A and B are shown apart, each in its own frame.
Chain A
Amino acid sequence: MSDQDRVLDSEPAAPASRGLGNLVPPDLRGFAVLAAVMLVAPLAGGYPIFLMKMLCYALFACAFNLLMGYAGLLSFGHAAFLGSAAYLSGQALKVWGMPTPLGLLFGAAVGAVLGLIIGWLAIRRTGVYLTMITLAFGQMLYFFYLQAGFTGGEDGLQGVPRGTLFGLDLGSDLTLYYVVLALFAAGFLLIYRTVHSPFGQILKAIRENEPRTTSLGYDTARFKLLAFVISAALAGLAGAMKTLVLGFATLSDAHWSLSGLVILMTLVGGVGTLMGPIIGAFAIVALEDKISDLGSWLARVTNVEWFASLGESSTIVTGLIFVVCVLAFRRGVVGEIIAWRARGK
């Protein structure tokens, strides 16, 4: 990504306001507001399963953004991490009888190990080659799950039990919702810490100028690999959470179109911003959910019957958003807000 397009999230923060604001660092305020909204959302009539789905994808997009936005590595194979963890944690919970907390950790571990292997191979090349390599390995794993017996092929791995977490019965949607929200917040704060650590600064240096970072004495390959592993582990956690919420894992979790979708989520929200991927994930998940309603509304208003079938061809809409975002909206929602506020000062 070029310099002028990248929004610096680490620009000097505005002087902290008095009162409550001092409790929360300025760049976490957006997240604090969001967390407060999400805490009351199911009580205010939000459908818990839908909200949980949003949170799983938001964590997935945040994990992806750590790699793309901060280390500048565009992976096109992130669905492989989410999908593998979704399948294997589902298998662990259902067939091996693993307790739920272990199953979730197992999902993250699956992601981490795969991230280590794929990342180790992919970082041997840079730029667009890395993108093609991750895409190819993602496809390879997809074919593997297509043929492997335990995944149930086209039917998916069904009937994964939710179990209990430290005595809490997760059968209740509302209980599970708060567990998922807590896990999401923990994952987000881990990314926040990573980005603001010296390690995160080195990742940004690699993104801006890798040869110079090398010449400063940093072993850039090791840093890139570690970023890969953290990102894949969190994507794995998101996959395990998704299986737990929905009770199944399917082939579409591992398909490359999901890898494309997570790029779109990050791009819409703002690459290299903390809140962007969350906003983008919420927007895209809501869009996918509402697209057939949108289509029938458009058909009614414009009298063009074709719109009524928009629900079945959602890729047209995602493709269009992709083209528009890349051409005219590269900063994304949050990036535009940050740039607008910087101009105002």
Chain B
Amino acid sequence: MTELFGVPIQALMGQLLLGLVNGSFYAILSLGLAIIFGLLNVVNFAHGAFYMLGAFLAWMGLSYFGLNYWVMLALAPLLVGLFGMVVERLLLRRLYGLDTSYSLLLTFGLTLLVEGMFRSIYGVSGQTFDMPDQLRGATNLGFMIMPNSRAWVVLASLVVCAATWYVIERTRLGSLLRAGTENAALTSAFGVNVPLMVTLTYGFGVALAAFAGVLAAPVVQLSPLMGQHLIITVFAVVVIGGMGSILGSILSGLMLGVVEGFTRVFYAEASSTVVFVIMAIVLLVRPSGLFGRER
């Protein structure tokens, strides 16, 4: 068997793929956080809860209504997005103009509320999600055996990230969004309905989180607390990448997932903390983040 740095290449590639899977989740979540922060100036702590909600909706759709994974892949983000819009209209909207800490604390409270409810119903132990038949099995690439489910997660995430990047950077809708991010008052003076745009943006951001949740449902352990482990790491990713750039969020998410994967191969004990160590180094060397600009 071929070896690289004294590690079998099969194991190395396996961890690389696992890192890419995690990196895909980081990328989608930090992308959503960046879009929301850009326009609303809100750090959405509830992003992890919405991710969990997406995964659980997929599981509930399958177990209670017999709706399969592919249906839920579209339905769950839609429902969570609608829920997010209600949250924005009824709750978040009241805090605009106040210090940004308040909206962070509000979404933190929402996180506790939503996670607490799911915990009181489903407990902390995980649920299992039956893998759809199309994703079972593995493909032999010659240098490694690749489980199809993981490849699908990475592929679907990349497509969604690329589509989001395209819409924001290359279409008229995206240019309105960027204009709103740059100067909301001026944009509304040009006749754009900024409050509606804000609601839709929040809805879209949390729908992205729910999409990541559905993708995660077959490959990770489903638990009401699955979001809170992720969201703190994603915050570190956001600090490392800087929230200024869409592409930056995607790239730093993927990159840090891969770094985490490699750390698991060479020094497993540090794999849960390596992202935070990188964050400390970035803060020392380039405080505004790798792709960030100081706002």
Q: Which A residues are closer than 8 A to B by beta carbons?
A: 1-2, 5, 74, 121-122, 124-125, 127-129, 131-133, 135-137, 139-140, 143-144, 147, 256, 260, 263, 267, 306, 309, 312-323, 325-327, 330
Judge whether B104 and A313 touch: CB under 8 Å: no
Known contacts A125-B287, A140-B273; A312/B120 CB under 8 A = yes
In the bound assembly, the distance between CA atoms of A133 and B276 in angstroms comes to 9
CB-CB under 8 A from A316, the residues of chain B are 112-113, 116-117, 120
Judge whether B94 and A327 touch: CB under 8 Å: yes
User: B110 → chain A, closest Cβ, in Å?
Assistant: 6
Judge whether A128 and B283 touch: CB under 8 Å: no
In the bound assembly, the distance between CA atoms of A131 and B112 in angstroms comes to 18
- For this complex, 18 residue pairs linking A to B, each with C-beta atoms less than 8 Å apart, are A1-B98, A128-B100, A136-B232, A136-B233, A139-B232, A139-B233, A139-B276, A140-B277, A144-B273, A263-B108, A309-B120, A312-B120, A313-B119, A314-B116, A316-B112, A322-B108, A323-B110, A327-B95
Judge whether B101 and A131 touch: CB under 8 Å: yes
Excluding A131-B101, A139-B233, A256-B232, 13 further A-B contacts by CB distance (< 8 Å) are A5-B98, A74-B101, A129-B239, A132-B43, A135-B232, A136-B276, A263-B108, A306-B120, A313-B120, A316-B116, A319-B110, A322-B112, A326-B102
CB-CB under 8 A from B112, the residues of chain A are 260, 315-316, 318-319, 322
In the bound assembly, the distance between CA atoms of A147 and B111 in angstroms comes to 26
In the bound assembly, the distance between CA atoms of A316 and B287 in angstroms comes to 36
Instruction: Tell me the residues in window 137-185 of chain B with beta carbons closer than 8 Å to chain A beta carbons.
Output: none
Residue from the set A2, A131, A309 with the largest chain B CB neighbour count within 10 Å? A131
CB-CB under 8 A from B106, the residues of chain A are 322-323, 326-327
Task: Kindly list the 4 A-B residue pairs having the minimum CB-CB distance in the complex, ordered from nearest.
Answer: A322-B109, A319-B112, A319-B113, A316-B116
Known contacts A2-B98, A131-B101, A315-B112; A327/B91 CB under 8 A = yes
CB-CB under 8 A from A2, the residues of chain B are 97-99
User: A79 → chain B, closest Cβ, in Å?
Assistant: 12
Residue from the set B100, B105, B236 with the largest chain A CB neighbour count within 10 Å? B105
Judge whether B109 and A326 touch: CB under 8 Å: yes
Partner of B287, one of A124, A315, A318, A325: A124
CB-CB under 8 A from A267, the residues of chain B are 105
CB-CB under 8 A from A139, the residues of chain B are 232-233, 236, 276
CB-CB under 8 A from A132, the residues of chain B are 43, 235-236, 238-239
Q: Which B residues are closer than 8 A to A by beta carbons?
A: 37, 43, 91, 94-95, 97-102, 104-106, 108-117, 119-120, 232-233, 235-236, 238-239, 269, 272-273, 275-277, 279-280, 283-284, 287-288
Chain B's closest residue to A136 (CB) is B236
Judge whether A326 and B284 touch: CB under 8 Å: no
Judge whether B269 and A323 touch: CB under 8 Å: no
Known contacts A263-B105, A313-B120, A319-B112; A133/B279 CB under 8 A = yes
Judge whether B273 and A133 touch: CB under 8 Å: no
Known contacts A1-B99, A135-B232; A128/B43 CB under 8 A = yes
In the bound assembly, the distance between CA atoms of A321 and B233 in angstroms comes to 26
CB-CB under 8 A from A327, the residues of chain B are 91, 94-95, 106
CB-CB under 8 A from A323, the residues of chain B are 91, 106, 109-110, 113
In the bound assembly, the distance between CA atoms of A335 and B117 in angstroms comes to 31
In the bound assembly, the distance between CA atoms of A318 and B110 in angstroms comes to 10
In the bound assembly, the distance between CA atoms of A330 and B117 in angstroms comes to 25
